[in-house]
Amino acid sequence: MAQDSVDLSCDYQFWMQKLSVWDQASTLETQQDTCLHVAQFQEFLRKMYEALKEMDSNTVIERFPTIGQLLAKACWNPFILAYDESQKILIWCLCCLINKEPQNSGQSKLNSWIQGVLSHILSALRFDKEVALFTQGLGYAPIDYYPGLLKNMVLSLASELRENHLNGFNTQRRMAPERVASLSRVCVPLITLTDVDPLVEALLICHGREPQEILQPEFFEAVNEAILLKKISLPMSAVVCLWLRHLPSLEKAMLHLFEKLISSERNCLRRIECFIKDSSLPQAACHPAIFRVVDEMFRCALLETDGALEIIATIQVFTQCFVEALEKASKQLRFALKTYFPYTSPSLAMVLLQDPQDIPRGHWLQTLKHISELLREAVEDQTHGSCGGPFESWFLFIHFGGWAEMVAEQLLMSAAEPPTALLWLLAFYYGPRDGRQQRAQTMMAYVMATCRHGDLQPCGQRRSPVPTEVARDETLPAHSPAKRRPFFPKVI
């Protein structure tokens, strides 16, 4: 081990001197010498990387004080960059120098310098005359060479990862987990480069057979941050893989949505819908595992805010966007409703998932009575057991605000005595924690209020589960799901 260290130090000094000579690569002799030794230099770079990856950045600088000069000279040499895997190995070595948490201005400057060198390696905007000499000999124009080199390298790695995913347990043809992990580490500073998108997508979609995640957490965090800030655009399949493989990224995406909703001055239905659709969460939630996490975070927000009207409105808009996305994805994804709503009756979820506007007006009362029976059985009929208790049934019911509006409309239009089933639904909507006796009193209060004033709201109750400015938004286009499936009635 000690001998290897001595050999590496000797090689380091040799190649440092060589690079200083090659730095003046404008003569034919130096170009020939570079081409003669470039394969050996790549092997040295590979050994250097194996040593660097075992050290932290401070140790690297202490042991190799001029490592920055060596790598910089190599990165500005077009013959080295063009040879085999030298460009990739140089990127790996540079990434080993990055301080993840810089403690002083010197470390911050080093990070900035490294990012600049990385940008140079992968940029198509800087071409020296040496590049022109080299590429002209190959029949390429300089302006076409670097972009083509980068594109081919990325596509080659992405193709190798896809084959790795398809090979499954064929260990002889699979890419080593260490190499996959290394690739994810290399990609961290390059995430926002459009040309690297295919490699990022392939890394996210490629699933190994290892018991633990092999991709670096920093990779997931960088990709998620770039997605949230709209710096990159990946296919939905890749976004789903990201959020399935790294729960903190999904949680951060939800928190990012909450922050946008809170910071917005006025959240009408149109704005809420735009924020939610822009987050890609409804589309990704077509996968039950993602839906369950998102729904659980909504549940926590609802409990923490004591049933804030804004949270209820957001849940209802999200559900509408989710149902719309689910309908579009139904041909590709087929999951049982129980996987989305495990704590409630599947038959109840099936009924509520229907769009109220798709039901003929003559069948509204019958459908509402059926919903009331299912909810009442889950809440009050203990002989058959309950799927999660009253709160779970209520939490499911508030996802679908269109049914509550239909209840109110039916009660207001009822010429005879209001149907008990509808009164129970309205009482349950406003008082999910009420016992049977208290809910019966609330139902009576509704009847008396309707007879006296034509108002369904009992004294002391909230007037609407959504803010006035939300409920009264009339600016939504006709095709908007929030317009198709209106919220709780404005008349209440």
What number of residues does the chain have?
492
Model pLDDT, residue 133 = 55
**Res. 346 pLDDT band, cuts 50 70 90:** confident
What are 411-425's pLDDT values in tens digits?
Answer: 777 666 778 888 888
The tokens for 182 are: 């290394």
Mean pLDDT of 382-409: 76
Q: What is the pLDDT of residue 332?
A: 57
pLDDT by residue (tens digit) across 28-41? Answer: 678 778 877 888 99
CA angle 232, 313, 251 (to 5 degrees): 40
- Which segment of 181-185, 395-399, 434-438, 468-472 scores lowest on mean pLDDT? 468-472
* Contact call for residues 418 and 454 (beta carbons, < 8 A): no
Q: Does the pLDDT of residue 361 top 60, yes or no? A: yes
Q: How far is CA 73 from CA 41, 116, 344, in A?
A: 12, 14, 65
447 pLDDT more than 70: no
Task: Classify residue 415 as left (phi > 0), alpha (psi -120 to 50) or beta.
Answer: alpha
Quick one: pLDDT at residue 126? 44
Burial of 358-377, coded b for 16+ CB within 10 Å and e otherwise, reads: eeeeeebbebbbebbebbbb
Average pLDDT for residues 14-27, to the nearest whole number? 80
The structural domains of the chain, with segments of one domain joined by +, span: 1-125, 129-166+174-245, 269-335, 356-452
284 pLDDT more than 90: yes
Q: What is the pLDDT of residues 69-80, one digit of tens each?
A: 999 989 888 778
Q: DSSP readout, 418-448?
A: PPHHHHHHHHHHH-TT--HHHHHHHHHHHHH
pLDDT higher than threshold 60 for residue 405: yes
Q: Which helix (H) or strand (E) holds 396?
A: helix 389-398
User: What whole-number percentage of the chain has pLDDT above 70?
Assistant: 76
**What pLDDT was estimated at residue 4?**
57
Does 347 have pLDDT greater than 70? yes
**Average model confidence (pLDDT) across the chain:** 78
pLDDT at 194 over 60: yes
Give me the pLDDT at residue 474, please: 34
User: Per-residue pLDDT tens for 109-166?
Assistant: 888 888 888 877 775 334 454 555 555 555 655 555 556 666 777 788 888 887 766 5
The pLDDT of residue 279 is 95
CA-based diameter of the chain, in Å?
A: 103
Distance CA 141, CA 132 (A): 7
Lowest model confidence (mean pLDDT) among 103-112, 149-158, 288-297: 149-158
Confidence band for 225, pLDDT divided at 50, 70 and 90: very high
Higher pLDDT, 220 or 195: 220
Quick one: tokens of 227?
């997605």
Instruction: Give the model's pLDDT for residue 283.
Output: 95
